[in-house]
Amino acid sequence: MSFQQFDPALGTLTAVTLDLSGSMSTVISANNVDGSNTSSGTANAEVQFSVQDSGLDLAVPQLSLVSPNFTYSLLPGQSISSGTLSQTGTSSDTYTSLPVLKEFTSLVPGDPGSNSLSASTFTLALIAVHGGNTFPTQATSAALTGSVTYDYIPVAVPEPSTFALLGAGVAGILACGWRRRR
C-alpha cells in the first residue's frame, strides 16, 4: 500500500490514523476417506492481514476475518463442498509516536512524497471432526485496502481582518503625526 506523505507546509503532524478494510471468500471441501465410518463436523477459514512500515515503527495493525461455519455430515467415501463463504471487516489504529510521525511526513515542504506499507496474510482452515477420517481442503482469496488520515496543528496564518485592523492602526498613527505637524 502506498500513501501520500503529510506536507509539513500545512502545519505540525500530531497523529496518523491507519484504516484498513478487508474481505475474504473461501470454499472448504471435506472428504471422508474412511471406508466404513461416517464423519461429521464443522469447518471455517481465517485470514489475518498484517501491515508494517519500512522502519518497523508501527505497532503491527492487524485485521482478522473468520468465515461463517460450514457444518457437514459425510457417509464413508463421501465428499462435500461448502460453496462460497464470505466475510468483510475493518480496523483502525492511531499512532502518535515520533518515529511514525517522521516516517509519514515529507522531508520537502510543499512537495509531499509517498510512504509504502507492506501487507501480508496468514490463512488457515479450522476443522472439527467427529468419526471417520476426514481430509479438508480450502481455496481462499482475500483483498485489503487502506487509508491514512493525518491530524495536525495548522500553520498560523493571519486572517484578512487582522491585516485590515493593522492597516487602520497604521493609518491612524500617520494621521495623528500629520495633524501634529500642522
Q: In the structure grid, which three cell numbers stand for residue 146, read together?
A: 487502506
pLDDT in tens, 38-90: 999 999 999 999 998 888 888 777 899 999 999 999 999 999 999 999 999 99
Cα(161)–Cα(169) distance, rounded to whole angstroms?
12
pLDDT in tens, 110-152: 888 888 899 899 998 888 999 889 988 999 999 999 999 999 9
* Residue showing cell 481582518: 161
Q: 3-class DSSP state for residue 116?
A: strand
Candidates 149, 161, 133, 176; CA nearest to 6 is 149
- Per the model's pLDDT, the better-predicted residue between 78 and 155 turns out to be 78
pLDDT of residue 90: 96
pTM, two decimal places = 0.76
Q: Given a cut of 80, is residue 170 above it in pLDDT?
A: no
